[in-house]
Structure 1
Amino acid sequence: MKVLIVEDEKPAARRLHRMLEQLELPVEHTVHSVKEAVEHLSNNTPPDLIFLDIQLSDGLSFEIFDHVKVDSAIIFTTAYDEYALKAFKLNSIDYLLKPIDVKELEVAVNQFKASFRESGNPIHNKAQFQPIDLQQIAKLLNEPQNAYKNRFTVKVGEHIKLFATDEIQLFYSENKGTYINLPNGRNYLLDLNLEAVEARLNPKTFFRVSRQAIVHINAITDIISYTNSRLKVKINSFTTFDLVVSRERVKDFRRWIEG
Protein backbone atom coordinates (compact mmCIF):
# COMPACT_ATOMS: atom_id res chain seq x y z
CA MET A 1 0.00 0.00 0.00
CA LYS A 2 1.66 3.23 -1.20
CA VAL A 3 0.94 6.73 0.10
CA LEU A 4 1.95 10.07 -1.38
CA ILE A 5 1.81 13.41 0.47
CA VAL A 6 1.47 16.59 -1.58
CA GLU A 7 1.98 19.50 0.84
CA ASP A 8 3.92 22.74 0.36
CA GLU A 9 4.32 23.38 4.09
CA LYS A 10 7.28 21.19 5.03
CA PRO A 11 6.57 21.21 8.81
CA ALA A 12 2.97 20.20 8.07
CA ALA A 13 4.18 17.48 5.70
CA ARG A 14 6.56 16.10 8.32
CA ARG A 15 3.83 16.13 10.96
CA LEU A 16 1.39 14.29 8.67
CA HIS A 17 4.15 11.81 7.79
CA ARG A 18 4.70 11.02 11.49
CA MET A 19 0.97 10.71 12.18
CA LEU A 20 0.51 8.28 9.29
CA GLU A 21 3.44 6.17 10.45
CA GLN A 22 1.85 5.94 13.90
CA LEU A 23 -1.31 4.70 12.17
CA GLU A 24 0.77 2.08 10.34
CA LEU A 25 0.30 3.71 6.97
CA PRO A 26 3.87 4.32 5.74
CA VAL A 27 4.48 7.20 3.35
CA GLU A 28 6.43 6.37 0.21
CA HIS A 29 7.11 9.92 -1.00
CA THR A 30 6.40 13.60 -0.29
CA VAL A 31 6.29 16.45 -2.82
CA HIS A 32 5.72 20.16 -2.26
CA SER A 33 4.23 21.72 -5.40
CA VAL A 34 2.00 21.17 -8.41
CA LYS A 35 5.09 20.81 -10.59
CA GLU A 36 6.71 18.22 -8.32
CA ALA A 37 3.44 16.28 -8.05
CA VAL A 38 2.97 16.16 -11.84
CA GLU A 39 6.57 15.01 -12.33
CA HIS A 40 6.29 12.32 -9.66
CA LEU A 41 2.92 10.98 -10.83
CA SER A 42 4.07 11.00 -14.46
CA ASN A 43 7.20 8.97 -13.77
CA ASN A 44 6.17 6.56 -11.02
CA THR A 45 3.59 3.89 -10.31
CA PRO A 46 0.44 5.61 -9.00
CA PRO A 47 0.12 5.53 -5.20
CA ASP A 48 -2.89 3.92 -3.59
CA LEU A 49 -3.68 7.05 -1.57
CA ILE A 50 -2.76 10.73 -1.93
CA PHE A 51 -3.04 13.32 0.83
CA LEU A 52 -3.40 16.46 -1.26
CA ASP A 53 -3.10 20.02 0.04
CA ILE A 54 -5.42 22.37 -1.87
CA GLN A 55 -3.32 25.53 -1.99
CA LEU A 56 0.24 24.75 -3.06
CA SER A 57 3.11 27.18 -3.56
CA ASP A 58 2.63 27.27 -7.34
CA GLY A 59 -1.17 27.03 -7.59
CA LEU A 60 -4.25 25.03 -6.66
CA SER A 61 -3.69 21.28 -6.54
CA PHE A 62 -6.60 20.78 -8.96
CA GLU A 63 -4.17 21.81 -11.69
CA ILE A 64 -2.44 18.45 -11.25
CA PHE A 65 -5.44 16.75 -12.86
CA ASP A 66 -4.97 18.88 -15.98
CA HIS A 67 -1.56 17.32 -16.61
CA VAL A 68 -1.70 13.74 -15.38
CA LYS A 69 -4.30 11.02 -14.96
CA VAL A 70 -4.86 10.25 -11.29
CA ASP A 71 -6.35 6.87 -10.38
CA SER A 72 -5.52 7.04 -6.68
CA ALA A 73 -7.73 7.58 -3.67
CA ILE A 74 -7.48 11.22 -2.63
CA ILE A 75 -8.02 12.91 0.72
CA PHE A 76 -7.74 16.69 0.46
CA THR A 77 -6.17 18.64 3.31
CA THR A 78 -7.23 22.25 3.66
CA ALA A 79 -7.07 25.32 5.85
CA TYR A 80 -10.04 26.90 4.07
CA ASP A 81 -13.05 28.01 6.09
CA GLU A 82 -16.57 26.61 6.17
CA TYR A 83 -17.79 28.53 3.11
CA ALA A 84 -15.27 26.91 0.79
CA LEU A 85 -15.77 23.48 2.36
CA LYS A 86 -19.37 23.49 1.15
CA ALA A 87 -17.99 22.75 -2.30
CA PHE A 88 -16.36 19.60 -1.01
CA LYS A 89 -19.35 18.46 1.01
CA LEU A 90 -21.69 18.91 -1.95
CA ASN A 91 -19.37 16.87 -4.15
CA SER A 92 -18.76 14.19 -1.50
CA ILE A 93 -15.00 14.68 -1.60
CA ASP A 94 -13.03 13.45 1.39
CA TYR A 95 -11.13 16.21 3.19
CA LEU A 96 -9.37 16.93 6.46
CA LEU A 97 -9.35 20.43 7.94
CA LYS A 98 -5.97 21.80 9.02
CA PRO A 99 -4.45 21.57 11.51
CA ILE A 100 -5.19 17.88 11.07
CA ASP A 101 -6.67 16.19 14.12
CA VAL A 102 -5.18 12.76 14.76
CA LYS A 103 -8.57 11.19 15.53
CA GLU A 104 -10.13 12.52 12.31
CA LEU A 105 -7.08 11.29 10.40
CA GLU A 106 -7.43 7.87 12.00
CA VAL A 107 -11.09 7.64 10.91
CA ALA A 108 -10.17 8.55 7.32
CA VAL A 109 -7.26 6.09 7.26
CA ASN A 110 -9.38 3.27 8.68
CA GLN A 111 -12.07 3.89 6.08
CA PHE A 112 -9.48 3.75 3.35
CA LYS A 113 -7.90 0.57 4.73
CA ALA A 114 -11.30 -1.13 5.01
CA SER A 115 -12.19 -0.26 1.44
CA PHE A 116 -8.78 -1.34 0.22
CA ARG A 117 -9.03 -4.72 1.97
CA GLU A 118 -12.50 -5.33 0.55
CA SER A 119 -11.79 -4.46 -3.06
CA GLY A 120 -8.08 -4.00 -3.46
CA ASN A 121 -8.89 -0.65 -5.07
CA PRO A 122 -8.79 2.92 -3.79
CA ILE A 123 -11.91 4.50 -2.33
CA HIS A 124 -12.05 7.19 -5.04
CA ASN A 125 -10.72 6.44 -8.50
CA LYS A 126 -10.62 8.73 -11.49
CA ALA A 127 -13.95 7.44 -12.74
CA GLN A 128 -15.59 8.71 -9.58
CA PHE A 129 -13.91 12.10 -9.96
CA GLN A 130 -15.13 12.65 -13.53
CA PRO A 131 -18.61 13.99 -12.66
CA ILE A 132 -17.12 16.44 -10.16
CA ASP A 133 -16.62 19.91 -11.58
CA LEU A 134 -13.16 20.71 -10.22
CA GLN A 135 -13.11 24.06 -12.03
CA GLN A 136 -16.29 25.06 -10.23
CA ILE A 137 -14.76 24.10 -6.89
CA ALA A 138 -11.61 26.07 -7.69
CA LYS A 139 -13.78 29.07 -8.58
CA LEU A 140 -15.61 28.83 -5.25
CA LEU A 141 -12.30 28.73 -3.41
CA ASN A 142 -11.30 31.96 -5.13
CA GLU A 143 -14.58 33.81 -4.59
CA PRO A 144 -13.92 37.36 -3.28
CA GLN A 145 -16.23 36.83 -0.30
CA ASN A 146 -13.97 33.98 0.77
CA ALA A 147 -10.77 35.97 0.36
CA TYR A 148 -10.24 36.88 3.99
CA LYS A 149 -10.19 34.51 6.94
CA ASN A 150 -12.33 35.32 9.97
CA ARG A 151 -10.43 32.98 12.24
CA PHE A 152 -7.32 30.84 12.49
CA THR A 153 -6.99 27.49 14.23
CA VAL A 154 -3.93 26.19 16.05
CA LYS A 155 -3.26 22.82 17.62
CA VAL A 156 -2.12 22.87 21.26
CA GLY A 157 -1.46 19.36 22.50
CA GLU A 158 -4.68 17.42 22.00
CA HIS A 159 -6.73 20.60 21.68
CA ILE A 160 -7.58 22.89 18.79
CA LYS A 161 -7.86 26.58 19.66
CA LEU A 162 -9.70 29.15 17.55
CA PHE A 163 -8.60 32.77 17.35
CA ALA A 164 -10.58 35.51 15.63
CA THR A 165 -8.41 37.24 13.05
CA ASP A 166 -9.13 40.66 14.55
CA GLU A 167 -7.72 39.62 17.94
CA ILE A 168 -4.36 38.68 16.42
CA GLN A 169 -1.75 41.44 16.77
CA LEU A 170 0.89 39.98 14.57
CA PHE A 171 1.86 37.08 12.34
CA TYR A 172 5.58 36.36 12.20
CA SER A 173 8.07 33.74 11.08
CA GLU A 174 11.00 32.44 13.07
CA ASN A 175 13.13 29.30 12.81
CA LYS A 176 11.11 28.04 9.81
CA GLY A 177 7.85 28.31 11.77
CA THR A 178 4.95 30.78 11.47
CA TYR A 179 3.35 32.15 14.63
CA ILE A 180 0.48 34.35 15.77
CA ASN A 181 0.98 36.84 18.59
CA LEU A 182 -1.89 37.82 20.90
CA PRO A 183 -2.36 40.89 23.14
CA ASN A 184 -1.62 38.75 26.23
CA GLY A 185 1.84 38.02 24.85
CA ARG A 186 1.15 34.40 23.96
CA ASN A 187 2.46 32.99 20.69
CA TYR A 188 1.04 29.98 18.84
CA LEU A 189 2.48 27.98 15.95
CA LEU A 190 0.44 27.97 12.73
CA ASP A 191 0.37 25.23 10.11
CA LEU A 192 0.86 27.79 7.30
CA ASN A 193 3.70 29.84 5.90
CA LEU A 194 3.64 33.64 6.01
CA GLU A 195 2.84 33.90 2.29
CA ALA A 196 -0.27 31.75 2.69
CA VAL A 197 -1.35 33.80 5.72
CA GLU A 198 -0.84 37.09 3.90
CA ALA A 199 -3.03 35.94 1.01
CA ARG A 200 -5.96 35.40 3.38
CA LEU A 201 -5.75 38.69 5.32
CA ASN A 202 -7.62 41.92 4.62
CA PRO A 203 -4.94 44.37 3.34
CA LYS A 204 -6.84 47.26 4.89
CA THR A 205 -6.26 45.75 8.33
CA PHE A 206 -2.94 43.93 7.99
CA PHE A 207 0.36 44.99 6.45
CA ARG A 208 3.48 42.95 5.80
CA VAL A 209 6.23 45.18 7.18
CA SER A 210 9.02 42.77 6.22
CA ARG A 211 9.68 39.24 5.03
CA GLN A 212 9.35 38.18 8.67
CA ALA A 213 6.20 39.91 9.96
CA ILE A 214 2.63 41.03 9.23
CA VAL A 215 1.08 43.53 11.67
CA HIS A 216 -2.50 44.51 12.57
CA ILE A 217 -3.21 48.25 12.26
CA ASN A 218 -4.90 48.40 15.69
CA ALA A 219 -1.98 46.68 17.42
CA ILE A 220 0.55 49.39 16.58
CA THR A 221 1.39 51.51 19.62
CA ASP A 222 4.27 53.55 18.19
CA ILE A 223 6.14 54.19 14.94
CA ILE A 224 9.74 55.40 15.18
CA SER A 225 12.14 56.69 12.54
CA TYR A 226 14.93 54.16 12.03
CA THR A 227 18.24 53.97 10.19
CA ASN A 228 18.47 54.01 6.37
CA SER A 229 15.06 55.69 5.95
CA ARG A 230 13.28 52.79 7.59
CA LEU A 231 10.63 52.74 10.32
CA LYS A 232 10.38 50.72 13.51
CA VAL A 233 6.94 49.57 14.65
CA LYS A 234 6.11 48.95 18.29
CA ILE A 235 3.49 46.41 19.40
CA ASN A 236 2.76 45.78 23.07
CA SER A 237 3.94 42.44 24.45
CA PHE A 238 6.03 41.57 21.38
CA THR A 239 9.78 41.53 22.04
CA THR A 240 10.98 38.56 19.99
CA PHE A 241 12.69 40.85 17.47
CA ASP A 242 12.48 44.44 16.19
CA LEU A 243 9.61 45.08 13.79
CA VAL A 244 11.33 47.17 11.14
CA VAL A 245 9.53 48.28 7.99
CA SER A 246 11.94 47.51 5.16
CA ARG A 247 12.96 50.53 3.09
CA GLU A 248 11.17 49.37 -0.06
CA ARG A 249 7.91 49.01 1.92
CA VAL A 250 7.98 52.36 3.77
CA LYS A 251 6.06 54.31 1.12
CA ASP A 252 3.26 51.72 0.97
CA PHE A 253 3.26 51.48 4.77
CA ARG A 254 2.75 55.24 5.16
CA ARG A 255 -0.10 55.09 2.66
CA TRP A 256 -1.60 52.14 4.58
CA ILE A 257 -1.57 53.82 8.01
CA GLU A 258 -3.18 56.93 6.55
CA GLY A 259 -6.11 54.81 5.37
Structure 2
Amino acid sequence: MNVIIIEDEKPSARRLQRMLKSLDVEAQTMLHSVDESIDWFKTNTHPDLIFLDIQLSDGLSFEIFEAIDINSAVIFTTAYDEYALQAFKLNSIDYLLKPIDEDDLKIAVDKFRDRTPQKQSVTLDFNDIKKLLVNPIERDYKKRFSVKVGQHLKLINIEDIECIYSENKGTYVFTNEGRNYLLDQTLDQLEDELEPHVFFRVSRKFYINIKAIRDIVSYTNSRLEIKLNHYKEQQIIVARERVKDFKNWLE
Protein backbone atom coordinates (compact mmCIF):
# COMPACT_ATOMS: atom_id res chain seq x y z
CA MET A 1 0.00 0.00 0.00
CA ASN A 2 1.45 3.34 -1.09
CA VAL A 3 0.52 5.97 1.51
CA ILE A 4 1.42 9.66 1.98
CA ILE A 5 0.64 12.18 4.70
CA ILE A 6 -0.14 15.83 3.93
CA GLU A 7 -0.01 17.75 7.21
CA ASP A 8 1.54 21.15 7.99
CA GLU A 9 2.21 20.45 11.68
CA LYS A 10 5.30 18.25 11.54
CA PRO A 11 4.95 16.78 15.05
CA SER A 12 1.40 15.69 14.16
CA ALA A 13 2.64 14.20 10.88
CA ARG A 14 5.37 12.24 12.67
CA ARG A 15 2.88 11.01 15.29
CA LEU A 16 0.50 9.82 12.57
CA GLN A 17 3.39 8.11 10.77
CA ARG A 18 4.27 6.21 13.96
CA MET A 19 0.64 5.24 14.55
CA LEU A 20 0.34 3.93 10.99
CA LYS A 21 3.55 1.93 11.37
CA SER A 22 1.97 0.10 14.32
CA LEU A 23 -0.77 -0.96 11.85
CA ASP A 24 1.85 -2.21 9.34
CA VAL A 25 1.27 0.81 7.10
CA GLU A 26 4.39 2.63 5.91
CA ALA A 27 3.92 6.30 5.06
CA GLN A 28 7.28 7.08 3.46
CA THR A 29 6.35 10.55 2.21
CA MET A 30 5.19 13.50 4.30
CA LEU A 31 4.24 16.79 2.66
CA HIS A 32 3.60 19.99 4.58
CA SER A 33 2.12 22.62 2.26
CA VAL A 34 -0.06 23.13 -0.79
CA ASP A 35 2.85 24.18 -3.02
CA GLU A 36 5.09 21.32 -1.89
CA SER A 37 2.29 18.82 -2.50
CA ILE A 38 1.52 20.11 -6.00
CA ASP A 39 5.19 19.88 -6.97
CA TRP A 40 5.42 16.35 -5.56
CA PHE A 41 2.33 15.08 -7.40
CA LYS A 42 3.67 16.44 -10.70
CA THR A 43 6.75 14.21 -10.53
CA ASN A 44 5.73 11.15 -8.51
CA THR A 45 3.38 8.19 -8.84
CA HIS A 46 0.16 9.00 -7.04
CA PRO A 47 -0.43 6.96 -3.87
CA ASP A 48 -3.19 4.52 -3.07
CA LEU A 49 -4.18 6.52 0.02
CA ILE A 50 -3.69 10.09 1.25
CA PHE A 51 -4.04 11.23 4.84
CA LEU A 52 -5.03 14.83 4.24
CA ASP A 53 -5.15 17.79 6.63
CA ILE A 54 -7.69 20.42 5.57
CA GLN A 55 -5.93 23.65 6.45
CA LEU A 56 -2.26 23.85 5.54
CA SER A 57 0.19 26.67 6.22
CA ASP A 58 -0.25 28.19 2.74
CA GLY A 59 -3.94 27.48 2.10
CA LEU A 60 -6.64 24.82 2.00
CA SER A 61 -5.55 21.40 0.81
CA PHE A 62 -8.41 21.41 -1.73
CA GLU A 63 -6.18 23.66 -3.84
CA ILE A 64 -3.97 20.62 -4.50
CA PHE A 65 -6.88 18.81 -6.16
CA GLU A 66 -7.81 21.89 -8.15
CA ALA A 67 -4.29 21.95 -9.62
CA ILE A 68 -3.70 18.20 -10.05
CA ASP A 69 -6.03 15.41 -11.18
CA ILE A 70 -5.73 12.93 -8.30
CA ASN A 71 -7.72 9.70 -7.98
CA SER A 72 -6.21 8.48 -4.71
CA ALA A 73 -8.44 7.52 -1.80
CA VAL A 74 -8.51 10.17 0.93
CA ILE A 75 -8.84 10.01 4.69
CA PHE A 76 -9.20 13.51 6.11
CA THR A 77 -7.46 14.47 9.33
CA THR A 78 -9.42 17.45 10.49
CA ALA A 79 -10.32 19.76 13.36
CA TYR A 80 -13.55 20.90 11.68
CA ASP A 81 -16.87 20.76 13.47
CA GLU A 82 -19.66 18.20 13.25
CA TYR A 83 -21.44 19.81 10.28
CA ALA A 84 -18.38 19.52 8.07
CA LEU A 85 -17.80 15.99 9.28
CA GLN A 86 -21.39 15.18 8.37
CA ALA A 87 -20.62 16.47 4.87
CA PHE A 88 -17.65 14.11 4.63
CA LYS A 89 -19.90 11.22 5.64
CA LEU A 90 -22.47 12.06 2.99
CA ASN A 91 -19.73 12.05 0.37
CA SER A 92 -18.40 8.66 1.56
CA ILE A 93 -15.13 10.22 2.73
CA ASP A 94 -13.33 8.78 5.73
CA TYR A 95 -12.17 11.29 8.32
CA LEU A 96 -10.28 11.40 11.60
CA LEU A 97 -10.92 14.13 14.12
CA LYS A 98 -7.77 15.55 15.70
CA PRO A 99 -6.18 14.58 17.99
CA ILE A 100 -6.30 11.26 16.20
CA ASP A 101 -7.45 8.28 18.24
CA GLU A 102 -5.65 4.96 17.63
CA ASP A 103 -8.86 2.95 17.45
CA ASP A 104 -10.42 5.40 14.96
CA LEU A 105 -7.28 5.22 12.83
CA LYS A 106 -7.40 1.41 12.74
CA ILE A 107 -11.07 1.46 11.72
CA ALA A 108 -10.34 3.93 8.90
CA VAL A 109 -7.38 1.90 7.62
CA ASP A 110 -9.37 -1.34 7.79
CA LYS A 111 -12.19 0.33 5.87
CA PHE A 112 -9.75 1.22 3.11
CA ARG A 113 -8.22 -2.24 3.07
CA ASP A 114 -11.66 -3.85 2.80
CA ARG A 115 -12.50 -2.00 -0.40
CA THR A 116 -12.52 -3.99 -3.62
CA PRO A 117 -9.78 -3.10 -6.14
CA GLN A 118 -12.40 -1.45 -8.35
CA LYS A 119 -13.30 0.93 -5.54
CA GLN A 120 -9.82 1.83 -4.36
CA SER A 121 -9.85 5.16 -6.18
CA VAL A 122 -12.41 7.84 -5.44
CA THR A 123 -13.86 10.78 -7.31
CA LEU A 124 -14.57 13.65 -4.95
CA ASP A 125 -16.24 16.95 -5.74
CA PHE A 126 -13.93 19.10 -3.65
CA ASN A 127 -15.68 22.33 -4.63
CA ASP A 128 -18.97 21.06 -3.19
CA ILE A 129 -17.26 19.86 -0.03
CA LYS A 130 -15.51 23.21 0.31
CA LYS A 131 -18.86 24.98 0.26
CA LEU A 132 -20.14 22.74 3.05
CA LEU A 133 -17.21 23.48 5.33
CA VAL A 134 -17.75 25.99 8.10
CA ASN A 135 -14.91 27.87 9.74
CA PRO A 136 -12.63 25.52 11.67
CA ILE A 137 -13.14 25.44 15.39
CA GLU A 138 -10.34 26.74 17.53
CA ARG A 139 -8.06 23.84 18.40
CA ASP A 140 -8.52 22.85 22.00
CA TYR A 141 -4.89 22.91 23.06
CA LYS A 142 -3.81 22.26 26.61
CA LYS A 143 -4.59 25.20 28.90
CA ARG A 144 -3.23 23.81 32.16
CA PHE A 145 -1.84 20.73 33.88
CA SER A 146 -2.93 19.24 37.18
CA VAL A 147 -0.02 17.77 39.14
CA LYS A 148 0.10 15.97 42.44
CA VAL A 149 1.98 17.71 45.27
CA GLY A 150 1.86 15.55 48.37
CA GLN A 151 -1.83 14.94 49.08
CA HIS A 152 -2.90 17.92 46.98
CA LEU A 153 -3.52 18.66 43.31
CA LYS A 154 -1.92 21.81 41.93
CA LEU A 155 -3.01 23.53 38.71
CA ILE A 156 -0.25 24.90 36.49
CA ASN A 157 -1.27 27.23 33.68
CA ILE A 158 0.46 26.75 30.33
CA GLU A 159 1.70 30.36 30.29
CA ASP A 160 3.59 29.70 33.54
CA ILE A 161 5.67 26.88 32.03
CA GLU A 162 9.17 27.59 30.70
CA CYS A 163 9.92 24.10 29.43
CA ILE A 164 8.82 20.48 29.56
CA TYR A 165 11.53 17.84 29.63
CA SER A 166 12.20 14.14 30.15
CA GLU A 167 14.68 12.77 32.64
CA ASN A 168 15.19 9.29 34.13
CA LYS A 169 12.03 8.00 32.39
CA GLY A 170 9.94 10.81 33.88
CA THR A 171 8.40 13.91 32.27
CA TYR A 172 8.58 17.22 34.11
CA VAL A 173 7.35 20.79 33.71
CA PHE A 174 9.57 23.62 34.87
CA THR A 175 7.69 26.80 35.83
CA ASN A 176 8.75 30.43 35.81
CA GLU A 177 8.78 30.18 39.62
CA GLY A 178 11.76 27.82 39.33
CA ARG A 179 9.85 24.67 40.35
CA ASN A 180 9.75 21.20 38.76
CA TYR A 181 6.62 19.04 38.71
CA LEU A 182 6.21 15.46 37.52
CA LEU A 183 3.63 14.78 34.76
CA ASP A 184 1.80 11.59 33.86
CA GLN A 185 2.26 12.00 30.09
CA THR A 186 5.32 11.44 27.93
CA LEU A 187 6.67 14.09 25.56
CA ASP A 188 5.32 12.10 22.60
CA GLN A 189 1.84 12.07 24.11
CA LEU A 190 1.96 15.87 24.44
CA GLU A 191 2.68 16.49 20.75
CA ASP A 192 -0.93 17.20 19.79
CA GLU A 193 -1.82 18.92 23.08
CA LEU A 194 0.63 21.83 23.09
CA GLU A 195 0.00 25.02 21.12
CA PRO A 196 2.59 24.80 18.28
CA HIS A 197 3.05 28.57 18.09
CA VAL A 198 4.03 28.63 21.78
CA PHE A 199 5.90 25.35 22.33
CA PHE A 200 8.58 23.75 20.16
CA ARG A 201 10.29 20.40 20.65
CA VAL A 202 13.95 21.29 20.21
CA SER A 203 15.18 17.75 20.91
CA ARG A 204 13.99 14.36 22.11
CA LYS A 205 14.24 15.69 25.68
CA PHE A 206 12.86 19.24 25.59
CA TYR A 207 9.85 21.34 24.68
CA ILE A 208 10.43 25.05 25.24
CA ASN A 209 8.06 28.00 25.56
CA ILE A 210 8.92 30.79 23.11
CA LYS A 211 8.12 33.40 25.79
CA ALA A 212 10.76 31.91 28.10
CA ILE A 213 13.72 32.24 25.69
CA ARG A 214 16.38 34.60 27.07
CA ASP A 215 19.15 33.95 24.56
CA ILE A 216 20.07 31.76 21.58
CA VAL A 217 23.75 30.91 21.07
CA SER A 218 25.59 29.10 18.26
CA TYR A 219 26.75 25.65 19.33
CA THR A 220 28.96 22.93 17.85
CA ASN A 221 28.01 20.98 14.71
CA SER A 222 25.62 23.67 13.41
CA ARG A 223 23.41 23.35 16.48
CA LEU A 224 21.99 26.03 18.78
CA GLU A 225 21.95 26.40 22.55
CA ILE A 226 18.82 27.87 24.17
CA LYS A 227 19.03 29.81 27.40
CA LEU A 228 15.75 30.28 29.26
CA ASN A 229 14.83 32.89 31.84
CA HIS A 230 15.11 30.62 34.86
CA TYR A 231 15.84 27.01 33.83
CA LYS A 232 19.56 26.24 34.25
CA GLU A 233 19.64 22.59 35.30
CA GLN A 234 20.75 21.19 31.90
CA GLN A 235 21.95 22.55 28.59
CA ILE A 236 19.10 22.87 26.09
CA ILE A 237 20.47 22.11 22.63
CA VAL A 238 18.45 22.30 19.42
CA ALA A 239 19.10 19.07 17.54
CA ARG A 240 20.82 19.70 14.21
CA GLU A 241 17.96 18.21 12.17
CA ARG A 242 15.52 20.57 13.94
CA VAL A 243 17.47 23.82 13.59
CA LYS A 244 15.80 24.88 10.33
CA ASP A 245 12.29 24.21 11.66
CA PHE A 246 13.21 25.97 14.89
CA LYS A 247 14.30 29.10 13.03
CA ASN A 248 11.05 29.06 11.03
CA TRP A 249 9.11 28.64 14.28
CA LEU A 250 10.80 31.70 15.79
CA GLU A 251 9.55 33.83 12.90
* TM-score bucket (shorter structure): 0.5 to 0.7
Q: CA RMSD in A?
A: 4.0
1:170 equivalent among 151, 158, 161:
158
Which runs of no fewer than 5 residues in structure 2 stay unpaired?
144-154, 165-172, 176-180, 200-208, 213-226, 231-251
Match of 2:239 in 1: none
Q: 1:196 to 1:106 in 2, by over 3 A?
A: farther
Deviation at 1:105, TM superposition (A): 0.7
Corresponding residue for residue 85 of structure 1: 85
Measure the CA separation in 1 of the matches of 2:5 and 2:210. Answer: 27
Inter-partner Cα distance in structure 2 for 1:173 and 1:26: 36
Contact 2:50 2:73 in 1 (8 A): yes
Aligned position for 2:9:
9
Tell me the CA shift for residue 86 of structure 1. 3.7
1:137 to 112, 132, 155: 132
SS at match of 1:47: coil
CA shift for structure 1 position 92: 3.5
On the 8 A contact 2:54/2:78 being kept in 1, the answer is yes
- Counting matched residue pairs gives 181
The answer as to 2:31 corresponding to 1:36 is no
Q: Is the 8 A contact 2:52 2:75 kept in 1?
A: yes
In the superposition, the TM-score normalised over structure 1's length comes to 0.56
| Partner residue in 2 for 1:194 | 196
Alpha-carbon offset, residue 135 of structure 1: 2.8
Residue in 2 that maps onto 1:106? 106
Distance 1:26 1:40 in 2: 18
Higher helix share: 1
Following superposition, the deviation at residue 132 of structure 1 comes to: 6.2
- Is 2:142–2:195's contact at 8 Å kept on the other side of the alignment? no
Change (3 A) 1:25 1:57: same
> For residues 58 and 173 of structure 1, what CA distance do their matches in structure 2 show?
30
**How far does residue 181 in structure 1 lie from its aligned partner after superposition?**
11
Q: Distance in 1 between matches of 2:182 and 2:82?
A: 26
Residue number in structure 2 paired with 1:71 = 71
Q: Which runs of 5+ in 1 are unaligned?
A: 155-166, 198-210, 215-239, 244-259
How far off its partner does 1:78 sit? 1.4
Distance across 2 between alignment mates of 1:36 and 1:44 = 12
Q: Secondary structure at the match of 2:27?
A: coil
Q: 1:153 to 1:85 in 2, by over 3 A?
A: farther
In structure 2, the partner of 1:125 is: 122
CA shift, 1:75, in A, is 0.2
Q: TM-score, normalised by structure 2?
A: 0.58
Partner residue of 2:150? none
Question: CA offset at residue 36 of structure 1?
Answer: 1.0
Are the aligned partners of 1:7 and 1:33 in contact in 2 as well (CA < 8 Å)? Answer: yes
Sequence identity percentage: 44
Query: Counterpart amino acid of 1:125?
Result: V
Indicate if the aligned counterparts of 1:49 and 1:73 stay in contact, CA closer than 8 A: yes
Partner of 2:219: none
Q: Structure 1 residues 212 and 49 mapped into 2: Cα distance closer, same or farther (>3 Å)? A: same
* Cα 1:113–1:196 shift into 2, 3 Å: farther
CA distance in 2, matches of 1:98, 1:13: 12
Task: Give the letter aligned to residue 50 of structure 2.
Answer: I
CA contact (8 A) 1:7 1:56 kept: yes
